[in-house]
Amino acid sequence: MIDASVLEPKNPSFTVGIGRFAMIGVLAAALGACATPPPDTDAAAKQAYIEANDPLEPMNRAVFEFNRVADKIILKPVATVYHNAVPTFAQDMIRNFLDNLKQPLNIANALLQGNPDRAGQAFGRFTGNTIIGLGGVFDVMTNLPKVEEDFGQTLAVWGLGEGPYLMLPILGPSNPRDTAGLVVDAVADPLNWYARTHDLDWVAPTRFIVSGIDFRSRNLQTMDDIEANALDFYATVRSLARQRRMDQVRNGNPAPVPMKQGEDDMSPPRPVALKAN
């Protein structure tokens, strides 16, 4: 079974500049790259168009092809060398260290979402792995589940809709809500803040690049399988990415069952927040 998480744009912990660049580029291109909705007389096509949530499909497909070329020319070859040349234990240590750097944001976003249990889990992992795990290079807190929260998820819990599907340059699948969340997380990240205030401008880009290489190296075969088996690679990526993101917003909980037509709606309304402890 294909792990759709390979398609999710991770928090890059990059500078605000790349977020602004991506957003400006997307908005500018969107002005002349909207897909034409099917006529109302074609009910099946209309429903498929609504479910895809991709009115900017022509632009998104162009960005997707750009990302594929960049991946084939640069990222995949580098990730392959990394995967084959770096010992597995060293890759695990790098991954653990990078994951540990995300924990302060995980804690903050879990609290903003009103989920103290998940915040406590993230805090426990961060303190334990930082102190006992030598700064996070060793994951000694395996008794606590991993927590992944970002400000895009926080905005979703607060009731903000995702908006139209977006394919961002380099960063991959997203939407306006999650793109804004990336920028906020990049600004609020304690390591990025420390680097900015201490003239360590190389920290955030280095972290972004190493995270991307590590992430791509873990999914070399999975991405090849998706591309080989997909009739429409772009549409498959879009579907998997959106499913994965909705699952993250719900913290893996099942989607709420829609009310059947004619059902008595005297019960209290469902909460907007899809998060659960």
* Tens-level pLDDT at each residue, the chain (277 residues): 555 555 655 544 444 444 454 454 545 554 455 777 777 677 777 788 888 899 999 999 999 999 999 999 999 999 999 999 999 999 999 999 999 999 999 999 999 999 999 999 999 999 999 999 999 999 999 999 999 999 999 999 999 999 999 999 999 999 999 999 999 999 999 999 999 999 999 999 999 999 999 999 999 999 999 999 999 999 999 999 999 999 999 988 887 766 555 555 444 444 433 444 3
Give residue 260's pLDDT: 55
Q: Which of 189, 170, 143 is nearest to 63 (CA)?
A: 170
Alpha-carbon span 248 to 35, nearest angstrom? 28
Alpha-carbon span 247 to 8, nearest angstrom? 11
Q: Which of 219, 206, 249, 200 is nearest to 13 (CA)?
A: 206
Amino acid at 133: G
Amino acid at 125: R
Q: How far from chain centre, in Å, is Cα 264?
A: 38
Q: How far apart are the first and last CA of the chain?
A: 27
Alpha-carbon span 127 to 99, nearest angstrom? 13
Alpha-carbon span 125 to 105, nearest angstrom? 13
Question: pTM to 2 decimals?
Answer: 0.81
Alpha-carbon span 25 to 178, nearest angstrom? 16
Q: Which of 197, 265, 238 is nearest to 9 (CA)?
A: 238
Q: Rounded to 5 degrees, what are φ and ψ at 172?
A: 95, -155
Q: Residues for the chain: how many in total?
A: 277
Token code pair at residue 116: 């103290």
Per-residue DSSP letter, 146: P
Alpha-helical segments (H) within the chain: 16-30, 43-52, 57-70, 76-85, 88-101, 103-112, 116-131, 151-157, 176-188, 190-197, 203-217, 220-229, 233-249
